[in-house]
């Protein structure tokens, strides 16, 4: 891993790194992973450790993206 850019090259991130990537607190990260019944935040268990795959986090972000009114047919023009 290149120390100058932090977590950018790691495949699996610990909870602090994943929270930093998502710009949320570690408490919110845990809530998203374990207390969200619909579309929980994907994670990997490695023994007692809980890790987060960078690719899973990026896909989770894409799946939760909300389009603005202009992308939904221009209804925001009224």
8 Å CB contact between 22 and 57: yes
Q: What are phi and psi of 35, to 5 degrees?
A: -120, 10
Q: Tens of pLDDT along 36-71?
A: 888 789 999 999 999 999 999 999 999 888 887 765
Q: What are phi and psi of 54, to 5 degrees?
A: -55, -45
Kind and range of the H or E run holding 32: helix 26-34
Per-domain boundaries in the chain: 9-64
Helix (DSSP H) and strand (DSSP E) numbers for the chain: 3, 3
Is the pLDDT confidence value at 8 over 70? no
Q: Tens of pLDDT along 18-42?
A: 999 999 999 999 999 999 888 789 9
Is the pLDDT confidence value at 16 over 70? yes
* pLDDT score at 39: 79
Read off the pLDDT band of 10 (50, 70, 90).
confident
8 Å CB contact between 40 and 47: no
């Amino acid at each position: 891993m290149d120390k100058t850019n932090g977590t950018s090259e790691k495949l699996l991130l610990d909870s602090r790194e994943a929270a930093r990537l998502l710009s949320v607190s570690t408490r919110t990260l845990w809530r998203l992973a374990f207390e969200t019944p619909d579309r929980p935040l994907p994670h990997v268990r490695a023994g007692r450790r809980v890790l987060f795959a960078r690719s899973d986090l990026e896909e989770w972000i894409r799946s939760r993206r909300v389009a603005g009114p202009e992308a939904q047919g221009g209804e925001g023009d009224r």
